[in-house]
Amino acid sequence: MNPATDIPLNDQSESKPLNFIHQIIEDDNAIGKFQKRVHTRFPPEPNGYLHIGHAKSILLNYGTAVKYNGKFNLRFDDTNPIKEEDEYVQSIIEDVKWLGADFEDRLLYGSDYFQKMYEYAIQLIQKGKAYVCDLSAEEIRNTRGSLTEAGTESPYRNICNRSINVNLIQFQLMKAGKFPDGSKTLRAKIDMASPNLNMRDPIMYRILHADHHRTGAEWCIYPMYDWAHGLEDSIEGITHSLCTLEFEDHRPLYDWFLDELGAYHSQQIEFSRLNLSYTVMSKRRLLELVQKKYVNGWDDPRMPTISGMRRRGYTSEAIRNFTERIGVAKRDSTVDVALLEFSVREHLNKIAPRYMGILNPLKVIIDNYPDDQEEFLEAINNPEDESAGTRKVPFSKEIYIEAEDFMEAPPKKFYRLAPGTEVRLRYAYFVTCTNIVKDDRGNIIEIHCTYDPATRGGDSPDGRRVKGTIHWVSARHAKTAEVRLYDRLFTAENPAGEKYLEYLNPESLKILKNCHIEPALFENATPGLRFQFERLGYFCVDPDTNDNKLVINRTVTLRDTWAKIAGKQAR
Ligand code: ATP
Ligand code: MG
């Protein structure tokens, strides 16, 4: 284990085959490439909050560095001033740390290399490999050709008055702010007939008189992604630059820039993106959900963002286990969100203390229990962890049970409470339902029971058996809480396409305002506390909690109820 993070150092145990990236690294090490160094990075653009797909990339990069005793950088790829904000930078730092990816003092910014990139650009111009082009963005697009047709060379590419010197001067004037936005670009001079469109004289710099979140008004030319990214890797001495598959076609350009410059050359390796069912992962869409208020911010517990999952009660360990389970591949696929939920349950089962809480209360009066009596019954805090000990749960004449644990006319195999049946109240007594009280409209408002004093603790001395055990909370001792129940944000497994909003699940958030919880939970309820409500699921205390209101999020149900419902609908 890495003591700082609890991440298993040997994440690929002996029996597991190496993933293809680690195989590449081992092959590189075998021939002494990169002096057997491993140095990875996670390069987010600070234009949104991180999501679970990013978590996969972070943990892959970090885990690879740890596995090979290497280094890991967190580097902001902040080369586009328009959409970037410091709020995003701060949230990304928090999320990466929370995931346990320790970048130590290697918190870096691509924008810190603007000067160096500029100097590299001058080198390419001097080599005759880059030129200033006066075509508009649209003209460049229109002359780029297609997969079946070669592009057309820019008139500025070879004309005699655009000598190397003129290009140098033009580029310097671009930097000096002499030209308006969009009037000129610096382009690499490669091959307008290349079968790879990315190689058709790609733009390296554009003019943009915009303030940057770090460099302010210092620059009015900004590097394009393909130009900047390889240089950032090169400047930092990254060995294996892991990125997602859509950059495969960009690799020749990545290589071309570094080769032409004779700069240190990192190896780009592509792997498949993580896609998750029942959600969207594009930052543009996540931003739309936030801006148009379909969700309550980036950290809404329904969002696939790391901050949303944290708020919902997911643990970083569960996310790490999940990403290890799915592994890395070369082919895109969609992972069932149920697998993520499985990992969350698996971890919370081990660590979450148990409490009793009632979401939809139904009052039960135990007629033969003395009016003023109260008892404190012993309850196990975590059956998976003996060291968690026990606590006392108050019991009295009036309790709440879950409304759905009672049925007036139960079907067969309903082992909970019904007229004339006996059930066990968890940790307390056997009770038998004797009477139902209804309002004028026939709604059940309370039920009456008798209890058997000999069954204290939940066992009958005469060996009498009951089939059902239900949870409860003493009415007199109960505290009130608001519980927020979350469901899939989308009803479609793959809410793809521009009409993705049509698949928003109208039932993705249900707020229950009148829930009753046992006092021990109330006393411990600080935001972030994760626990299990017995029989209901895993929950956590939401940061909206204040002195007047306790807010609880349902993290995940105990079992996969969605699969059941979906299965029924399909039938
Ligand atoms: P965009 O570039 O459109 O803003 P992005 O999701 O690619 O969105 P970046 O900030 O560029 O955002 O991503 C940072 C890193 O995370 C990149 O290396 C990218 O390849 C990786 N990444 C992004 N989405 C996923 C995903 N779904 N699965 C795995 N890795 C991802
Ligand atoms: Mg990207």
Q: Residues 6 or more apart from 216 whose CB is under 8 A from it?
A: none
Q: Is 33 a catalytic residue?
A: no
pLDDT classification of 494: cutoffs 50, 70, 90: very high
State the distance from the centre of ligand 2 to the C-alpha of 48, rounded, in angstroms.
Answer: 11
Question: Which position has the token pair 């080198």?
Answer: 123
Angle between helices 52-67 and 316-326 (to 10 degrees): 80
Q: Residues 6 or more apart from 140 whose CB is under 8 A from it?
A: 133, 154, 185, 187, 203
Per-residue pLDDT at 333? 84
Question: Which position has the token pair 């859509």?
Answer: 246
What the chain holds in terms of domains, given with CATH numbers, is 118-223 (3.90.800.10), 355-474 (2.40.240.10), 479-570 (2.40.240.10)
Per-residue pLDDT at 3? 40
Please check the confidence at residue 318 and state whether its pLDDT lies above 90.
yes
**pLDDT > 90 in the chain, percent:** 91
Please check the confidence at residue 8 and state whether its pLDDT lies above 60.
no
State the distance from the centre of ligand 1 to the C-alpha of 273, rounded, in angstroms.
Answer: 8
Question: Chain centroid to CA 74: how far?
Answer: 17
d(CA 265, CA 261) in angstroms, rounded, equals: 10
Q: Please calculate the CA angle 83-311-355 and round it to the nearest 5 degrees.
A: 175
Query: Looking at 273, 285, 456, 479, which residue is catalytic?
Result: 273
Is the Cβ–Cβ distance between 102 and 71 less than 8 Å?
no
State the distance from the centre of ligand 2 to the C-alpha of 45, rounded, in angstroms.
Answer: 7
Burial degree of 406 (CB within 10 A; 0-12, 13-18, 19+): buried
Across 415-442, average pLDDT: 97
How many helices and strands, by DSSP H and E, does the chain display? 15, 27
d(CA 440, CA 375) in angstroms, rounded, equals: 35
Please check the confidence at residue 201 and state whether its pLDDT lies above 50.
yes
Per-residue pLDDT at 159? 80
Q: What is the DSSP letter of 398?
A: E
Per-residue pLDDT at 566? 56
Per-residue pLDDT at 84? 82
d(CA 403, CA 405) in angstroms, rounded, equals: 5
Please check the confidence at residue 564 and state whether its pLDDT lies above 70.
no
Per-residue pLDDT at 161? 65
Please check the confidence at residue 480 and state whether its pLDDT lies above 90.
yes
Per-residue pLDDT at 567? 58
Is the Cβ–Cβ distance between 323 and 99 less than 8 Å?
no
Is the Cβ–Cβ distance between 278 and 465 less than 8 Å?
no
Per-residue pLDDT at 1? 41
Q: Residues 6 or more apart from 489 whose CB is under 8 A from it?
A: 278, 279, 289, 295, 302, 303, 304, 504, 505, 508
Q: Which residues line ligand 1 (CB under 6 A)?
A: 43-45, 47, 53-54, 56-57, 243-244, 273-274, 281, 283
Global pTM?
0.93
- The residues facing 2 across adjacent strands are 7
CB atoms closer than 10 angstroms to residue 32: 8
Please check the confidence at residue 13 and state whether its pLDDT lies above 90.
no
Across 468-497, average pLDDT: 97
Please check the confidence at residue 160 and state whether its pLDDT lies above 70.
no
Q: Residues 6 or more apart from 52 whose CB is under 8 A from it?
A: 274, 276, 281, 304, 305, 306, 309, 319, 340
State the distance from the centre of ligand 1 to the C-alpha of 548, rounded, in angstroms.
Answer: 40
Q: What are phi and psi of 115, to 5 degrees?
A: -65, -45
Residue 82 structure tokens: 């328009």
Across 376-395, average pLDDT: 97
pLDDT classification of 561: cutoffs 50, 70, 90: low
Per-residue pLDDT at 59? 98
State the distance from the centre of ligand 1 to the C-alpha of 95, rounded, in angstroms.
Answer: 14
E runs forming strands in 453-557? 469-470, 472-474, 479-486, 509-517, 530-533, 537-541, 551-557
Q: How far is CA 263 from CA 230, 258, 302, 445, in A?
A: 10, 5, 45, 78
Per-residue pLDDT at 16? 75
How large is the C-alpha radius of gyration of the chain?
31
Please check the confidence at residue 545 and state whether its pLDDT lies above 90.
yes
Please check the confidence at residue 4 and state whether its pLDDT lies above 70.
no
For 318-342, letters b (16+ CB in 10 Å) and e give bbbbbbbebebeeeeeebebeebbb
Positive or negative, the CA dihedral 74, 75, 80, 84 is positive
pLDDT classification of 458: cutoffs 50, 70, 90: confident
Closest CA to 395 of 480, 479, 472: 472
Closest ligand relative to 52 C-alpha:
1
Question: Which position has the token pair 């049509």?
Answer: 502
**What is the rounded average pLDDT for all residues in the chain?**
94
Per-residue pLDDT at 466? 94
pLDDT classification of 204: cutoffs 50, 70, 90: very high
Please check the confidence at residue 562 and state whether its pLDDT lies above 60.
no
Closest CA to 364 of 442, 421, 454, 435: 435
Is the Cβ–Cβ distance between 392 and 427 less than 8 Å?
no
Quick: pLDDT tens for 506-531. Answer: 999 999 999 999 999 999 999 999 99
Please check the confidence at residue 568 and state whether its pLDDT lies above 90.
no
The ligand 1 atom at the shortest distance from the C-alpha of residue 242 is 18
Q: Is 273 a catalytic residue?
A: yes
Positive or negative, the CA dihedral 308, 313, 317, 320 is negative
User: What is the three-class DSSP state of 342?
Assistant: helix
Quick: pLDDT tens for 81-134. Answer: 998 889 999 999 999 999 999 999 999 999 999 999 999 999 999 999 999 999
Query: Looking at 71, 162, 251, 283, which residue is catalytic?
Result: 283
Query: Which protein residue has the closest C-alpha to ligand 1 atom 9?
Result: 44
Q: What is the DSSP letter of 440?
A: T
Query: Which protein residue has the closest C-alpha to ligand 1 atom 18?
Result: 243
- Please state which of the ranges 108-112, 121-125, 270-274, 455-459 shows the lowest mean pLDDT: 455-459
Is the Cβ–Cβ distance between 206 and 133 less than 8 Å?
no
Comparing 6 with 34, the larger pLDDT belongs to 34
Per-residue pLDDT at 11? 46
Question: Chain centroid to CA 351: how far?
Answer: 21
pLDDT classification of 352: cutoffs 50, 70, 90: very high
Please check the confidence at residue 163 and state whether its pLDDT lies above 70.
yes
Is the Cβ–Cβ distance between 444 and 408 less than 8 Å?
yes
Q: Is 564 a catalytic residue?
A: no
d(CA 304, CA 273) in angstroms, rounded, equals: 14
